[in-house]
Every structure is written in structure tokens, then in C-alpha cells.
Structure 1
């Protein structure tokens, strides 16, 4: 029996055509699906999305990104948590395996790097390819991302379109507007470059909102790599800052894996440093 929040019946009906297009998509395998949740579920999820000032938001505030995350479903509303459970459930995972052609997908309820995300006015996320292995289950290779957008409205003039770049970082091949109840699914690889690097222009108090979930496969010797941020051809002087921040984050990633450093503590330090920069 299919879930009551995700419209799996329709998603399955579209699989033959969509899976073929997924494999051929440029610049890497992906698809954009609208109307993923039932209208009632989407309305409830939007209503329950934590407000901008909620105390459970934790900041990723550095050169390459300025966004906030909440990876604790027990702090979410009942519908939001139930949506995440359905998207991690066996029926939806089976759908993803058929869509992507990747067998043995493992959902990650610990939400390593995922969960609820919000980006405020002026925020950005530089072009990057994601970290390649789970930080706790080190034999889990990251294979599929889903981003479910939970914006009640998102006019084009606010920016925030997710850019999908080719593997050589020479051109943006596609853009995805974060429209409400839209889901982007893509195969995670060492060169699946994506991001929204230009500062958002949404009004104060508004946020670009999404639920991010990642799926893994068990591998004997997965290739470990931290998030690989890249400059665009026109980024000019910013290229040095992007490179330096990427290398600092790679060092942190290695220390985190070796010593079990808490993201919460580091995010608190980053938030403090961000506030000091704004005052300076």
C-alpha cells in the first residue's frame, strides 16, 4: 500500500518515460518532478516548516555557503517528519532504484548533511560536488540526492535557481527554480556540480526552504572526498577564496571523521564569526 503523503501512484505511472530521460539528462543524470506531495500534505508541511528564527537552526556560514540546517526530525512538525519517513521508506526507495538504475540504495535517517535547509536573503551556496561517503558509516558511498522544495511561493526575481554545471566547469547546462512541491533527484558523483552561488534577493524574513535526503550504497572501498567547491569561469578574484575555503573544509572533514568532532560546536563558532564580520 502506498503512502498517504507522497503521490507514489502517479510517480510510478511516470517511471518508464522518466527513468529513460533521467539516464540521458545533461549535464548528469537528474530529473525534476512537480507535485510530489499530495496538496494537503504539502500545505501542512509548509505550515510546519520551522520559522526563520527557530532555535534549532544551525548555520553553515563560511565563504562557500551561508545556509542553515535542522537535522533533528523530532523537532519538526508531525507532517514534516512523516514526509521524511515516507521518503526514507521501502516503497519510495524502490521507486528511486527504478528511476536511477542504482540497486541497493540505503536511506539515511541520521541525515548526514541533509535534513531541513533554509537560506536567507543574501545567502548563497557555491557550485560544488558533494562529499562522497557517510561520516559515520564509512563504507556507505553517496549515490543519490533528493531536494524537495517547500516554498509557498518563489518568484523568479528572488534568484536561488539551482545551477547544474558540466564536469569541466565551463558552462551551466540547466537551472532548477525551487518552486513549491518540486523535487529534484540526481545521481551523486565526483563531478555532479551544482549550487546557487549568487546572493538571494528575497525579502527579509523569507527563506529558500527545502528538505534534503541522501541515499547510499554499501561498498567495499568507497572513494572518500569532502565537498568539492569550484569557481565559475567568471568568478574572478573570488576563485582564491573559494579554493582556500574548500581546503580548510577538507581538513575539517578529515578531523571530523578521525576524532568525531561535533558539527554543532563548529556551526556555533561559524555563526559567532559571521556575526563579528557583519559588525566589522
Structure 2
């Protein structure tokens, strides 16, 4: 099955050809590509997307920082979506991401879809600007890349839902991306890759902002990219001090800060 746009004949070459664009993008390495996937397959993925508010095994985020819904793992995926998501975690696609991003460490997929998978935002929902958690909860690998696949047909600009990339100082949204069907965003995740959907969604009742999120990891990373292991860090926009709340520090956060990764892996194996 060909999951890609038929015009893409050589995926690795496509990645090499776009690498400079990715690495030189502002405000941090990223790229936005339209019509990347096979439209028929992605239409089926879109048609199969459930109303997450009616599903049981989901995560409901409802606080000043985020108002959104997320499925747990691939349990809610249709067969088409499952096959598509597995392709995005496959060797050929990982090799493409390696070529595109120039990341030297071997990229590793996340079959758990930890924090990823189906994401849905209803009218009035949002996701304030943040930098992502940087360690996988189970494997303790380093989070390196996000891939967002947007699934919103006939999405009008007035509906909002723009995905925004902000500078280090949180002064400007350098890039605003409308989440239209068959548009993807790929970006490197570091302490300074500030991104989000900070303004409340204004789409009509009965519509929602749908996406499929995949995260990629490596065993080790450049020290310049992160200061320490941490959970998601929400950040105020420069002209809106106090718009986010500070997430409470958990015992798990403290343990991750003070215990070496190799010891943490050993402890988890013993517990299992």
C-alpha cells in the first residue's frame, strides 16, 4: 500500500532535498508540507476518526493551560488508521526523518503512542504555548521529533486552531500554521522549541480540530538541546504574563531529576 502522495517517487531523496529548508527554518528546525500523503488513505483515516468525547479510554485535559482530548495508545484506531500509524513508525519512514532532519543519533519510534495518537480539540479548546516533555515515560529515551498530521477538511481560516511556533523569548509567533487536511508539521523538540495552539478554537458547533501525533526518540542527544529531564513546560507569551499556570511538580519528576537513567531502567525492570 502506498501511503504517500504518488508524486513522491523517492522518499529518502525527498528528505535530502528538503533538509536545508528544515535546518534553516525559524524559530527552530521545522517544516510544513502540504499533500504529503495519499489523499484516499488519509480521507479514510479522517472518516474513521471517532468523537473522542464519546470514548471511554481517553485523557481529558481541562485546565487553563490545555483544553483538549487525547486517546490512549492505538485502541481507538480503525484498521486503516492502525496500518497508517504503523507505517509512520516503520524503517522507511524513520530513514526519511533521519535524512530530513540530519539528526545523527538513530531515531526510534514509539509503539506506545505515549502522549501521541489521536488528538481532538472542541470549540473553545486550546493548548497554550509550551516546550514538550523530553523523556519517554516508559523507555526513558530522549524525545527528538514531533510529527503532526492534520485531518480537517474544509477548514476555514476563521475557525482558528493555528499551530504556532514561538521564538525563545516568547515575544513573537514566528510561524502560524492552519491545520488543514493533509498538511503535516515536523519539528525538533528541545527546551526552546516553543509551540502550541494558544487561542481558543472558534469553529462552529459540531466541528472540531483533529490531528494524529507521532513522536520520535533517540538514545542520547546533544547536551545543548536540553538542561534537564522535565515534563511539559507551559510558557507565558511576553504580552500576556500570568496566562499559564505552573504544573505541579510530581514525585516522578523529582526522581527523574536525581536518578541516573541507567538506574531508573534497572528499577523499572525489577518492579515489572
TM-score normalised per structure 2: 0.85
Q: In structure 2, how many angstroms separate the alpha carbons of the residues matched to 1:177 and 1:257? A: 36
3-state SS of the aligned residue for 1:91? helix
Aligned residue number for residue 224 of structure 1: 229
Query: Contact (CA 8 Å) 2:107, 2:218: kept in 1 or not?
Result: yes
Aligned residue number for residue 31 of structure 1: 31
Aligned residue number for residue 123 of structure 2: 121
Query: In the TM superposition, what is the alpha-carbon distance from 1:137 to its structure 2 partner?
Result: 1.2
Query: In the TM superposition, what is the alpha-carbon distance from 1:153 to its structure 2 partner?
Result: 2.4
Alignment of 1:51 with 2:56, yes or no, is no
Query: Contact (CA 8 Å) 1:149, 1:180: kept in 2 or not?
Result: yes
Aligned residue number for residue 15 of structure 1: 15
Query: In the TM superposition, what is the alpha-carbon distance from 1:253 to its structure 2 partner?
Result: 5.6
Query: In the TM superposition, what is the alpha-carbon distance from 1:252 to its structure 2 partner?
Result: 7.0
Query: In the TM superposition, what is the alpha-carbon distance from 1:144 to its structure 2 partner?
Result: 0.5
Bigger fraction of residues in helix: 1
Query: Contact (CA 8 Å) 1:6, 1:83: kept in 2 or not?
Result: no
Query: Which segment drifts farther, 46-55 or 129-138?
Result: 46-55
Q: Deviations over 1:173-206 (max 9, x none)?
A: 1111101011100011011000111100011121
> Alpha carbons of 1:5 and 1:29: their partners in 2 closer, same or farther (altered >3 Å)?
same
Q: Deviations over 1:55-93 (max 9, x none)?
A: 143211111000100133132111111110000000000
Aligned pairs, how many? Answer: 249
Aligned residue number for residue 5 of structure 1: 3
3-state SS of the aligned residue for 1:225? coil
Query: Contact (CA 8 Å) 1:52, 1:207: kept in 2 or not?
Result: no
Aligned residue number for residue 181 of structure 2: 180
Query: In the TM superposition, what is the alpha-carbon distance from 1:10 to its structure 2 partner?
Result: 5.8
What does residue range 1-280 of structure 1 map to in structure 2 within 5 Å? Answer: 4-7=2-5, 9=9, 11-56=11-56, 57-102=58-103, 103-138=105-140, 140-219=141-220, 223-236=228-241, 239=242, 242=244, 245-248=245-248, 250-251=249-250, 254=253
Gaps of 5+ in 2: 258-272
Query: Contact (CA 8 Å) 1:52, 1:205: kept in 2 or not?
Result: no
> Alpha carbons of 1:174 and 1:29: their partners in 2 closer, same or farther (altered >3 Å)?
same
Query: In the TM superposition, what is the alpha-carbon distance from 1:256 to its structure 2 partner?
Result: 9.6
3-state SS of the aligned residue for 1:14? helix
Q: In structure 1, how many angstroms separate the alpha carbons of the residues matched to 2:39 and 2:201? A: 27
